[in-house]
Structure 1
Amino acid sequence: MANISLKPPPTHTGRGLDLNVGVEKLKNVGSRNLPRLHKLGIKTVCDLLWHLPSRYEDYSRIILINELVPDQKVTVQGQVAKISSRRIFPYFRKGFGGQARRNLTIIEAIVQDDTGGVRAVWFNQPYIAASLPEGTRVSLAGTVKLDKRGLYLASPSYEKLRDDDHFAYHLTHTHGLIPVYPETEGVTSKYLRFLIKPLISEIQFEDHLSPETREKNGLVDLATAIQKAHYPLTLDEANQARERLAFDELLLFQIKSLLERRKINQLKSPAIPFDKEFVTDFIKHLPFELTKDQKIAVWEILKDLEKSYPMNRLLEGDVGSGKTVVALIAALEVARAAVRPDGERGCQTVFLAPTEVLANQHMDTIRRLIAHTDTEVALLTSSNAWSTYSLGNKAEIKRRIASGKAKIIIGTHALIQKDVEFKNLGLVVVDEQHRFGVNQRAALVKNKELVPHLLSMTATPIPRTLALTIYGDLDISIIKEKPKNRQKIITKIVPPSGRQEAYQFIRSEVKSGRQVFVICPRIELAESLPLSPRPGAPVPSVPPEGPPPLLGLKGKLSASQQLRLALAADMKAVQEEYKKLSELVFPDLKVAMLHGKMPARTTARSGGKPSKEEVMRNFKNGFIDILVSTSVIEVGVDIPNATVMMIENAEFFGLAQLHQFRGRIGRDVHQSYCFLFTTSAEKTTNQRLKAMTATDDGFLLAEKDMAIRGPGSFFGTEQSGLPDLAMAALANVELIKKSRAEARTILKEDPNLKNHESLKQQLLRLPKMVHFE
């Protein structure tokens, strides 16, 4: 569930129940279930009605008993002819978790209609015998199974039939398309249906979309959407309902982004004159030629900087496409040409990086590219502080920043501290901006009268529809073209049988003077695997025979969680893989390891242990042949001499992350190779890995990833700020266009939303967009 609420303001149902009232006021919600509902994000009646099904079980056909066949999902209606209960005692079979179950109660009923009888079997539900005495007319929904005694229904849902309703259209759990909801321990779909269905027929929502708007966009009214989302007669009805609700959520985000853009245009920023001669001369001195995409991006950014209101642009580029040099040209223009209110020339630029590895990488790149200029560059991280004109401590670097002498400042979260002052901040470049919160970015802005321009950068290619919605208040520049000297990376899927051949190939590459990355999913074998994967991460499917047995684990886990834990034993870990490669496979080569738990920098307190900075420096300088690492090298590592990327357990990474890993190699004229090691036979995994071998176009891979795993694979719902419905709808380009057009129409006719109070109230609950407040 998303952690934001995009629902109508308080209104009333037909019986006068305020939709904003707490669910504890509802019948059958006691103190025991209340915290469980809260865990699902259900605190009000409105939350309950917007807790939508994740899928539907189709029990719309009522089948005669003599027409039953094995493995069929059916609804059967008849009369209980016989019901019995028996206990198996003692019962010592070890169950999941290693706990002996000493009692097993089996309830068996014979249900008959005019054509015959069938068994219904339940386990450990002794109350059913009292609930369904002989002679009871009942409706059963479940899967038909076959054993040596014949056909039976395995643990079917059941409901009593009313004597006056043979076809039982009043049924909630055993007839029609039955909604299946996101659940938690103690809150089942049956319980949620029990709570929701009585409310459905009494909804009276004030629809914030006019009949004309609904007709123009082919949308149902709000009350119908809620009703059909929970209890559709057909899947088409369910899809129409979800489309309407998704449209509402997308509409809010589109309005929000348009309002944010309008707000930005009212702010004041330093206008940076475009010195075409200076820019052209700097580009000529670069040791490489800019691509066409880079030149276009530079032009768009510099034209934005000329304006007296803040630039708010996203620079989106594939791995290795050269975003940093584009941002650097803008920073030099700001440092040289900007005229401050006090009449002095030159404003400052901040490069904000999510990790020290990336900050150091930017420092090395920028320092090298501007060596022929007199522009002072400073670095400030939690463990490092220096500038091109001073080797002082942190206090000295902070003084140079505060005085305005340091014109380009590179750093991490250390820059977002109260004691870091900027004299004249003109541009902020945020790398991998989705890794920073809005408040963190806003903390850089100390002068509210003159705010800096903002350039966000990401090396994660994002499908344009996704970017336009999530980053709707940003202009977008895209760099797809790779530098001309780059060769296409050869990517291969390697089964276990190909491991020794891969090792031989690695040895030959090292003998040729090249270097190698080996990526592992974990740091150490003892490291636990999260029971719930990160948003968008691939989840292994459960095999037909069920998850592998895991004895001794306490608590109840879902089948997919059991499988993830079972697979953890096979996941490669950096520490163990480093030991194996350095001692057994390549004892004659220089092997090192890198992971997030290592100290950032070698100090007296680190006890002589190698630091991330030291390892990366040694690898960059060629003192290490093979680097075994976690995903810490995903972004910001530039080792031109590295030509092999070996990814262990590739099935545990998403396409975007695999593409980022691959982007660490192929940065020079040498042919490079990426090996994807996997033991998985799972269909979706193979689809993703085959996509990696077919193309090195990050934007094409992003589209494939969205098609295979859904839009949530890029950020996850919480990071994007989008709720589940809107996130799922991002694959619907037509719906996005309709919602954006409607948002423009609404704001054109009602700029301050005076006539759209409902929308205004919902906008207040949306998260902040990605610009400086």
Structure 2
Amino acid sequence: MTAGHTVLTLLSADITAVPGVGATVAARLHNLDIRTVRDLLFYFPREHRDYSKLEKIATIPFNELTTTMGLIWEVKNVPTSGGRMRTIATISDETGKLNVSWFNQSYLLKQLKAAQGSYLVVTGIKQRFGNKIEFSVRSHELPEQGDLVNTGRLVPTYPLTEGLHAKALRRFTKWVVDRYAAMIPDHLPAWIRSAGKLMPLPDAVSHIHYPENEAALLNARRRLAFDELFLIQLGMQERRSRWQREAPQGNAFNLDLTKIFIDAPTTASIVEQEGNSVTRVTGTDQEDTDNLLSATLWSPVITDKPFEATLPFHFTAAQKRVIGEILADLAQSKPMCRLLQGDVGAGKTAVAAAALLAAALNGYQGAIMAPTELLAEQHARSISIMLEPFGIHTVLLTGSLKQRERTMGRAAIESGEAMVAIGTHALIQEDVSFKRLGLVIIDEQHRFGVEQRDTLRQKGYHPHMLVMTATPIPRTLSLTLYGDLDVSVIDQLPPGRQKIITRWCTGARRTEANTVIAHQVAEGHQAFIICPLIEESETLAVKAATVEFERLSREVFPNLRLGLLHGAMKSAEKDAAMRRFRDGELDILVATSVIEVGIDVSNATVMVIEDADRFGLSQLHQFRGRVGRGKDQAFCYVLSADASIQAQERLNVFQSTDDGFRLSEEDLRLRGPGDFIGVRQSGMPELRMADLSD
């Protein structure tokens, strides 16, 4: 047996090889996915504490994240006016006393009462509310007595499970780190470590558990974070390379920019993509174009005037740039792999339509897959209008269509009569076949799994792929999630849009929102009211759409026309409610987050979000984007009766800016990548060391 095999054997030894770990303790460790010695080595601490450097109670600053420690004197649960439960503990040190509090964690009462007279370490924010001072806790720990006497030492704090104590887990990790950390093989070549000034992996694992000092801890985290992101990038690049390697030569589109832009040159144009090599997009003479079309098209495409000239608006500079990047990709023989980011209302649909027209001009079909029927219907309506002047037939395929409609739609797609197919998951059913699928567009792609996207792509012969999102994605997260894609950003809104007036209201100011709704409806406009839940909850004191709909209809707006929309309704009911609102038959639509994407009603000018503290910044931004899509002044009211410190911070940021990218950065910073919209659905492995908000 070689030395390498010996090391692997030792590291893969069962966790019961660790002294003190019997069957009972092993079962508890299994709850943490720790089954082998290697698992324990790579079970990293959540944080480290130096108990000699905690802030004294008397010197805790206001409005800053701070860690302090004190003896527990009193613990109690206190109900709040908003229906939540607040757990309050009084702690003290030699400089004073402090009330620290938790929201909706009443189970802590028993644990903290049992620890009265012991030390409690809390991390949180100190704030003043009127005459009261409160310390809102973000994390806490009941430290071991031994940790308190070892001042100056960085003590690791691990996530625990029921029945497993911190002291025991530290003892187990110390034993395996001392004996096995040095054996861990380092997969990074020395030249990469040298270029990146990275700590060797055995040292990094050792120091992430028991660092000699803060500098060693920082370097260990940096090396382990690099490994996480590096391996993800390798996997993504391998996937992209495999897909493009499998693609045949000759799948490039012949493109004439005069068919897209009003002011396009008639000769060859050069589109230079940022970060990529220069790519030539051909601009042909009319005779050459006619010959090309007659050779490739099976259905007539009318090209009397440029696509842009048929639209009721001109492309923004950002749209032109992005269309140029997409056309440059389509002109290459390898399949396009591109992510299109555009803030709410930036004009992604028109860009997608331009790409679909380019495909049709080359005799290829295009497909758009959307996550909801409402969004698919909206795309079908908008894109069919945009492409109708060119004689391009568009079909809609969703699960709620009648059997006859589905059969006709499938037949049109299979025969090639329909050059554009728009739908939901229905597009990837086995009975849907394309004649010549050359372009796949996935909208709100974070709502689809990798397998679903690949299934649609496999219905064509190595088609080009464009994925779109209305959620601005921070650069670091974008590189991690979509490292296999080139990225285009529409960072400019169409002219004429007014800034949406955003207000955060609590208490008595809530009536302001109702007053604005009444006034806007009287002016002929419409309003959305968003609630977090469908039905009332016994455990959550937040607004439910069904109950709020009844209350508003009866008590607040008895003379207005209200509708209800939520995810538990049947598809036909949801479609009917949305159509009535879109057609102006309803003044107010009370809904859940089902309207987060895909609802485009230019006459809607008011968005009211109940219990806004229940939503993240990116989600709030999507809600706000449902209004202000016309030229009239729009309003957004975020209502919150009893927001936590963290939620207050989110709502303050939301009120202060409408920049989607800034909001997404803040959302990532405040909530982390796990809760960032779409990350959990993306299939990205959980990051333990890398901080994507850096």
**TM-score, length basis structure 2:** 0.77
Partner residue, 2:395: 378
**In structure 2, C-alpha distance between the alignment counterparts of 1:586 and 1:10, rounded to whole Å:** 75
Q: Is the 8 A contact 1:495 1:678 kept in 2?
A: yes
Quote how far apart the aligned CAs of 1:11 are. 6.4
Partner residue, 2:605: 643
Q: 1:156 to 1:644 in 2, by over 3 A?
A: closer
Partner residue, 1:455: 466
Partner residue, 2:559: 588
Deviates more, 1:271-280 or 1:504-513: 271-280
**In structure 2, C-alpha distance between the alignment counterparts of 1:34 and 1:655, rounded to whole Å:** 41
Q: AA paired with 1:226?
A: V
Deviates more, 1:664-673 or 1:372-381: 372-381
Partner residue, 1:273: 254
Q: Is the 8 A contact 1:11 1:19 kept in 2?
A: no
Q: AA paired with 2:620?
A: L
Partner residue, 1:531: none
Partner residue, 1:604: none
Structure whose alpha-carbon radius of gyration is higher? 1
Q: Secondary structure at the match of 2:154?
A: strand
Quote how far apart the aligned CAs of 1:141 are. 9.2
1:201 aligns with 2:206: no
1:394 aligns with 2:411: no
**In structure 2, C-alpha distance between the alignment counterparts of 1:330 and 1:144, rounded to whole Å:** 57
Partner residue, 2:378: 361
Quote how far apart the aligned CAs of 1:377 are. 0.7
**In structure 2, C-alpha distance between the alignment counterparts of 1:210 and 1:238, rounded to whole Å:** 22
**In structure 1, C-alpha distance between the alignment counterparts of 2:605 and 2:560, rounded to whole Å:** 16
Partner residue, 2:288: none
Deviates more, 1:216-225 or 1:36-45: 36-45
Q: Is the 8 A contact 1:517 1:629 kept in 2?
A: yes
Q: Is the 8 A contact 2:370 2:444 kept in 1?
A: yes
Partner residue, 2:239: 260
* Mapping for residues 10-409 of structure 1, pairs under 5 Å: 18-59=10-51, 73=69, 142-143=119-120, 157-158=144-145, 176-202=153-179, 203=181, 204-268=183-247, 270-280=251-261, 281-335=306-360, 337-338=361-362, 346-384=363-401, 392-409=404-421
**In structure 2, C-alpha distance between the alignment counterparts of 1:478 and 1:144, rounded to whole Å:** 45
Partner residue, 1:766: none
Q: Secondary structure at the match of 2:408?
A: helix
Quote how far apart the aligned CAs of 1:41 are. 2.3
**In structure 1, C-alpha distance between the alignment counterparts of 2:45 and 2:239, rounded to whole Å:** 33
1:504-534, Cα deviation, whole Å (9 max, x unpaired):
22111100000000001100103x7xxxxxx
Q: Is the 8 A contact 2:448 2:681 kept in 1?
A: no
Quote how far apart the aligned CAs of 1:722 are. 4.2
**In structure 2, C-alpha distance between the alignment counterparts of 1:420 and 1:228, rounded to whole Å:** 55
Partner residue, 2:529: 518
Q: Is the 8 A contact 1:712 1:727 kept in 2?
A: no
Q: Secondary structure at the match of 2:504?
A: strand
Quote how far apart the aligned CAs of 1:372 are. 2.2
Q: Is the 8 A contact 1:378 1:385 kept in 2?
A: no
**In structure 2, C-alpha distance between the alignment counterparts of 1:238 and 1:178, rounded to whole Å:** 11
1:154-212, Cα deviation, whole Å (9 max, x unpaired):
9762569xxxxxx998xxxx983221112222233333213211011112122223444
Q: Is the 8 A contact 2:441 2:466 kept in 1?
A: yes
Q: 1:124 to 1:432 in 2, by over 3 A?
A: closer
Q: Secondary structure at the match of 1:251?
A: helix
Q: AA paired with 1:235?
A: E
1:476 aligns with 2:453: no
**In structure 1, C-alpha distance between the alignment counterparts of 2:436 and 2:27, rounded to whole Å:** 51
**In structure 2, C-alpha distance between the alignment counterparts of 1:72 and 1:379, rounded to whole Å:** 60
**In structure 2, C-alpha distance between the alignment counterparts of 1:441 and 1:72, rounded to whole Å:** 49
Deviates more, 1:234-243 or 1:480-489: 234-243
Q: Is the 8 A contact 1:205 1:223 kept in 2?
A: yes
Greater relative contact order (Cα < 8 A, sep 6+) = 1
**In structure 1, C-alpha distance between the alignment counterparts of 2:598 and 2:111, rounded to whole Å:** 56
Equivalent in 458, 464, 467 of residue 478 of structure 2: 467
* Mapping for residues 518-667 of structure 1, pairs under 5 Å: 518-526=529-537, 565=539, 568-569=540-541, 571-601=542-572, 611-667=573-629
Quote how far apart the aligned CAs of 1:433 are. 1.0
Deviates more, 1:350-359 or 1:256-265: 256-265
Q: AA paired with 1:413?
A: H
Q: 1:445 to 1:124 in 2, by over 3 A?
A: closer
Q: 1:674 to 1:713 in 2, by over 3 A?
A: same
Q: Is the 8 A contact 2:396 2:423 kept in 1?
A: yes
**In structure 1, C-alpha distance between the alignment counterparts of 2:650 and 2:510, rounded to whole Å:** 20
Quote how far apart the aligned CAs of 1:308 are. 1.2
**In structure 1, C-alpha distance between the alignment counterparts of 2:481 and 2:178, rounded to whole Å:** 35
* Mapping for residues 685-724 of structure 1, pairs under 5 Å: 685-715=647-677, 718-724=680-686
Partner residue, 1:3: none
Q: Secondary structure at the match of 1:592?
A: strand
Deviates more, 1:517-526 or 1:207-216: 207-216
Quote how far apart the aligned CAs of 1:277 are. 2.3
Q: 1:155 to 1:220 in 2, by over 3 A?
A: closer
Quote how far apart the aligned CAs of 1:690 are. 1.8
Quote how far apart the aligned CAs of 1:310 are. 0.5
Q: Is the 8 A contact 1:640 1:667 kept in 2?
A: yes
**In structure 2, C-alpha distance between the alignment counterparts of 1:348 and 1:439, rounded to whole Å:** 21
Q: 1:398 to 1:143 in 2, by over 3 A?
A: closer
Quote how far apart the aligned CAs of 1:720 are. 4.4
Q: 1:369 to 1:10 in 2, by over 3 A?
A: farther
Quote how far apart the aligned CAs of 1:631 are. 0.3
Aligned residues: 577
Q: Is the 8 A contact 1:61 1:176 kept in 2?
A: no
**In structure 2, C-alpha distance between the alignment counterparts of 1:95 and 1:702, rounded to whole Å:** 34
**In structure 1, C-alpha distance between the alignment counterparts of 2:111 and 2:338, rounded to whole Å:** 60
Quote how far apart the aligned CAs of 1:328 are. 1.0
Partner residue, 2:300: none
Q: 1:11 to 1:664 in 2, by over 3 A?
A: farther
* Mapping for residues 710-749 of structure 1, pairs under 5 Å: 710-715=672-677, 718-725=680-687, 728-732=690-694
**In structure 2, C-alpha distance between the alignment counterparts of 1:580 and 1:680, rounded to whole Å:** 21
Q: Secondary structure at the match of 1:517?
A: strand
Q: 1:242 to 1:727 in 2, by over 3 A?
A: closer
Quote how far apart the aligned CAs of 1:325 are. 1.1
Residue identity over aligned pairs, in percent, reads 44
Quote how far apart the aligned CAs of 1:723 are. 4.3
1:360-393, Cα deviation, whole Å (9 max, x unpaired):
111111122223231111111110269xxxxx42
Q: Is the 8 A contact 2:566 2:592 kept in 1?
A: yes
Q: AA paired with 2:691?
A: A
Q: AA paired with 2:144?
A: S
Superposition CA RMSD, Å: 3.2
1:14-61, Cα deviation, whole Å (9 max, x unpaired):
xx8621233244443333344433332223222221111112232468
**In structure 2, C-alpha distance between the alignment counterparts of 1:282 and 1:306, rounded to whole Å:** 18
Quote how far apart the aligned CAs of 1:74 are. 9.4
Q: Is the 8 A contact 1:10 1:19 kept in 2?
A: no
Q: Is the 8 A contact 1:356 1:411 kept in 2?
A: yes
1:550-585, Cα deviation, whole Å (9 max, x unpaired):
xxxxxxxxxxxxxxx4xx12x011011001100110
